[in-house]
Structure 1
């Protein structure tokens, strides 16, 4: 059976987004227990109007969002694809949707931070044009962080 993919632009109040983020946080806490205490403050999502949720066969399986970083740049946040939906190109689809949305709003640069153990994510970001850069605030002194940048 072919899976039906639907992309929805929404906000951080979307219950499907919140559910995916809860699953994402549990995954990260399991993989990085040493960071839970002092790192997760950087991943609190205040009310965000720039959220994408992807549904596969009407089930929410992937998400991402961006927030304004400065006058020309957005920061990609909370990129997650459920384990059962990995390998389908959904992370690339989320990035495309977020980058297009950001350019429509007048931004020309996209930045993001991931963790050094997230080799799959780093490879994906490099594949779609992101380059590793010096860590930006608030990650400057974080040895676990890998920061990346792309012109959009």
Structure 2
């Protein structure tokens, strides 16, 4: 597996994110559309694409939530590549980049009815916290956080 840091307009990243959007639209219909504003690629501080045998397998990004917090976004692995460590490798690269950029913690939001995503994040050290920001009071979202740095520059 190869992890590549890419620009937010990278063709492979854009294609993976488009697949993720189709997944959300298929599962949640028009409800998914109201969350698009939170996932705009142009606002990301970092984007990565994982490749297996030269083919794009998954992606992930982060954007600044505040001066010391990275918000993990656009985590996706194509179905054919799941359960092969792709998501863990993407998450590790994104978190490491955020920590090196001065972030002390990472936050994310996911769907309350997405048990596989919740299990993945918990397995990777995230814990459920009260919903933050625009997700306060939103019952279909679950917010999570994880310390990613001890606060010193790496």
| TM-score, with structure 2 as normaliser | 0.92
The 8 Å contact of residues 57 and 77 in structure 2, kept in 1 or not, is answered as yes
2:24 to 15, 23, 28: 28
Q: What is the rounded CA distance, in whole Å, between the counterparts of 2:11 and 2:62 in structure 1?
A: 17
| 1:13 to 1:47, Cα distance in 2 relative to 1, 3 A | farther
Runs of 4+ in 1 over 6 A off after TM superposition: none
How far residue 141 of structure 1 moved from its aligned partner, in angstroms, is 2.2
Matched, 1:43 2:39: yes
1:18 to 14, 20, 34: 14
Aligned length: 148
Deviation track 1:18-41 (CA, whole Å, cap 9, x = no partner) reads 000001100111111141342222
1:140 to 136, 140, 148: 136
Pairwise CA RMSD of aligned residues?
1.1
The 8 Å contact of residues 25 and 33 in structure 2, kept in 1 or not, is answered as no
| TM-score, with structure 1 as normaliser | 0.93
Q: Which runs of 5+ in 1 are unaligned?
A: none
Q: What is the rounded CA distance, in whole Å, between the counterparts of 1:57 and 1:87 in structure 2?
A: 16
Matched, 1:52 2:26: no
Q: What is the rounded CA distance, in whole Å, between the counterparts of 2:118 and 2:19 in structure 1?
A: 20
2:71 to 70, 75, 79: 75
Q: What is the rounded CA distance, in whole Å, between the counterparts of 1:90 and 1:61 in structure 2?
A: 7
**Residue 90 of structure 1 corresponds to which residue in structure 2?**
86
